[in-house]
Amino acid sequence: MILPGHPYHLQDERLFECYLTERSGELIDPPAAEHLTDCASCSERYADLVRFMESVRTDGESEANAVFTPERLRAQHQQIVRRLEQVGRPARVISFPGRLVRRTITASAGRTAPRWIAAAAAAGLFIGVALGASYEWNPLLHSSRPSVARSADASRPAYLAPVATRGSNQAAVAEDDAFLSDLEVALERPHTRELLAFDAFTPHVREIYDRR
Amino acid sequence: MDDARERFSELVALHQRRASRIAYQYLRDAAEADEAVQDAFVKVFSHITSYRETWPFEVWFTRILINGCLDRRKARARRDRWFVSNDVSSADEARVSSVGGGVGDPERALLSRERRAKLAAAIDRLDGRQRTVFTLCHYGDCTPREISAMTGLNESTVRVHLFRAARKLRGLLRGKP
C-alpha cells in the first residue's frame, strides 16, 4: 500500500499478521521483516501495535489471575474431582424415613381406612339432615318453640345486666381524670434528674392548653 | 474407571487455569466462570469416548467450554431482560481492584482498574465472533489454526476477525468509535 507522502508502507492488516506470526513463535516473512527494519515509520507503527496488544493481553491475564487464585483453582479442582466421582455411577436412591416406607408398603391396607371414614361421614351427614328435617316438620315441636324462647329469656343470668359503677358519681370521675393527668405529666417529664429543674421553670403544653 | 478418573484429574490440573481465564473473559463473573469450567470438564469426561485425536485435547475441550459459556451468556441476557442484571460480586471486584497497584500506590491501582474496566467494556462491545476469536487468541493462547478448528471458521476468516477485533478495540480504547 502506498500512503501519501511515503513511497511504500505496510498495511495495518499486514502488520497485524506480522504480530500474530511473531507471537506464535514463527518468523515474519522476509520482505515484511526487511521493510520493518528499513522503514522507521512502519517499525514505529508495529511497535505501537505490539505494545497495545501486549497491554491488552497482560491486563486481561492479570485480572483473571487475581480472581482465580491458586486456592480458588485448588478448590475448583477438588470440586471437579468430586463431580467426576459421580459420573458413570448408577443414580443413588435416597431411602425415605422408615415410617414413610412402611406406610408406602402397607398402602393397600391403609387404603380401606379412608373408605370407612368417608362412609361414616356420609352416614353422619345423612342422619343429621334427616333429624333436622323431621324437627322442622314436626308441628308439635314447632309450636312449643316460643315458650322455650320465653323460658330462655327468663332464665338469662343476672350478670349480663349492666352493673352500676363509680362512673355515675361526678366526684369520682374528676378524681380519675386528675390521676390520669398526673400520670401523663409524669411520663412527659424528662427522666434525667439534672433537667428536672429546667422542666419546672418552663411551661408545659398541657398547661398552655388548660389556660386557653 | 478410577484410574481414568485419576488421569483425567491430572488433565484438569493442566488446563484449568487457562480454561478459567477464557471463561472469565466471556462471563466476567468468577462464580459463573467457575461453574462453566467445572461443567465443561465433567461434560468432557462423560463424553470422552467421542473424542477423536485429529485435534489436540485442548481444542476439543475449549470448544465445549466456549459453547457452555455462550449458553450461559444467552441465559444471562434472557434473565437480564426480565430481572435485575447481576453485577460482578463485590469480592471479585475487591480482588481485581488489588491488581496492578501496590498497597501504597492507590493512584496506580485506580488507573489500572479503570483501564481494565474500559478494556472489559470494549471487549464486550465486540461482535460475537470477533469476541470469541479475540478471547481465544489473546487469553486462551490459541493460534488462528486452532481457533479455526474450535469455531469451525475458516482460518483466513479467523485472521480477519482477529484483525478487525484488534482495530475496533484500539479505536474504542483510544476514544475513537
Task: Give the mean pLDDT of B56-62.
Answer: 89
Evaluate whether A68 touches B139 at the Cβ level (below 8 Å): no
* Distance in angstroms (rounded) separating the CA atoms of residues B29 and B86: 9
Question: Rounded to two decimals, what is the model's pTM?
Answer: 0.59
> Lowest-confidence range among A30-34, A202-206, B10-14, B57-61?
A202-206
Task: Give the mean pLDDT of B16-32.
Answer: 91
ipTM value:
0.79
CA dihedral B142, B147, B149, B153 (to 10 degrees): -170
Direct distance between the N- and C-terminal alpha carbons of chain B, in angstroms, rounded to an integer:
54
Query: What pLDDT is recorded for position A73?
Result: 94
Residue B75 corresponds to which cell in the numbers above?
441465559
* Distance in angstroms (rounded) separating the CA atoms of residues A88 and A42: 58
* Distance in angstroms (rounded) separating the CA atoms of residues A62 and A78: 24
For residue B59, how far is the Cα from the chain centroid? 14
Evaluate whether B96 touches A67 at the Cβ level (below 8 Å): yes
Query: Higher pLDDT residue, B143 or A102?
Result: B143
What is the full DSSP assignment across A42-70? HHHHHHHHHHHHHHHHHHHHHHHHHHS-H
For residue A12, how far is the Cα from the chain centroid? 54
Q: Determine the Cα angle at A42 with ends A48 and A18, to 5°.
A: 75
Q: A84, B9: Cβ pair inside 8 Å? A: yes
Task: Give the mean pLDDT of B61-80.
Answer: 88
B54 pLDDT more than 70 = yes
Taking only the tens place, the pLDDT of each residue in B97-121 is 555 555 567 777 788 778 888 888 8
The tens-digit pLDDT sequence of chain A (212 residues) is 444 445 678 889 999 999 988 888 888 888 888 888 888 899 999 999 999 999 888 888 888 888 899 999 999 999 999 998 887 776 666 666 655 555 555 555 555 567 788 888 988 998 988 888 877 666 555 554 554 444 444 444 444 444 444 445 667 777 777 777 777 666 666 666 667 676 777 776 666 666 66
Nearest CA distance, B16 vs chain A (angstrom): 7
Count Cα neighbours of B3 within 13 Å in the Cβ-side half-sphere: 0
Interface probe for B, chosen from A63, A65, A71, A73 (most Cβ of B below 10 Å), is A63
**Which chain B residue shows the shortest CA-CA distance from A57?**
B138
* Distance in angstroms (rounded) separating the CA atoms of residues B39 and A83: 9
A25 DSSP 8-state letter: T
B38 pLDDT more than 90 = yes
Residues of B in contact with A12 (CB under 8 A): 163, 167
Task: Give the mean pLDDT of B57-72.
Answer: 91
Scan residues 70-109 of A and list those with Cβ closer than 8 Å to B.
72-73, 76-77, 79-81, 83-85, 87-88
According to DSSP H, which parts of A155-203 are helical? 170-188, 193-201
**Which chain B residue shows the shortest CA-CA distance from A61?**
B139
Using CB atoms, pick whichever of A12, A60, A77 lies closest to residue B138: A60
At B2, is the pLDDT very low, low, confident or very high (cuts 50, 70, 90)?
Answer: confident
At B86, is the pLDDT very low, low, confident or very high (cuts 50, 70, 90)?
Answer: low
- Phi-psi region at B141: left, alpha or beta (left = phi > 0; alpha = psi -120 to 50): left
Q: What is the largest CA-CA distance in chain A?
A: 129
